[in-house]
Amino acid sequence: MSEELHLGSPCNVFFDPETFIYSFSTSKGVEYAIVFTDMYLFDRASTIDQIQKPFDILIENLNGGTKTSWDTDIRDTISCILEHFFEDTEKAISFTCDTGDGYGLARSRKFNQWFAISPFKEELVKVDKKILTKGRIYYTSLIYHVDNSYQEDLVKAYEEVAQQMAKP
């Protein structure tokens, strides 16, 4: 059952603690889901036993093919969601920009711009990787709180996964 969060964001944000999905609608009626799932890629990493609470993040436009402009309300709402997510400093997320439609680099640039002006970026560490595998480039990021006790293990696991993905 979703509950409304009062995050001070431009859009009303709802959170379903059972599915770990945040959702919001823009003033233009476009609906988004911010989905956090267990990060299974790290399962093969040598440091998996030391890492706590790694997640993948998916930002999904629920209106399907509806083209949207990435306005500041979307950016600021996602920033508030991430700030709420990282209240638990042991959490970490991996973000991969979808490249299937040829806009992966544009998404990566937009995400980097958003992160650069985020009001709580000083509390987070962001590590970026560009991974070439099977003729495709994937733009990825690992983000964790500066107070995360498992920083070294997270970075090592991220490096290992990137190397595994890049193998032919």
Q: Quick check: 14 pLDDT over 80?
A: yes
- Mean of the per-residue pLDDT values for the chain? 87
Angle between helix 72-85 and helix 104-116 axes, rounded to 10 deg: 70
- 53-89 burial string, b = 16+ CB within 10 Å, else e? bbbbbebeeeeeeeeeeeeeebbbbbbbbbbebbeee
Across the strands, what pairs with 92?
A: 54, 144
pLDDT at 69: 65
pLDDT at 86: 94
pLDDT at 65: 61
pLDDT at 9: 95
pLDDT at 148: 94
pLDDT at 143: 94
What pLDDT, in 10s, does the model give residues 114-135?
889 888 889 999 999 998 888 8
What pLDDT, in 10s, does the model give residues 42-98?
777 777 777 777 888 988 888 876 566 667 898 899 999 999 999 999 999 988 887
Q: Are 124 and 161 spatial neighbours (Cβ–Cβ below 8 Å)?
A: no
pLDDT at 70: 67
More confidently predicted of 10 and 40: 10
Say how far apart CA 125 and CA 120 lie, in whole Å. 10
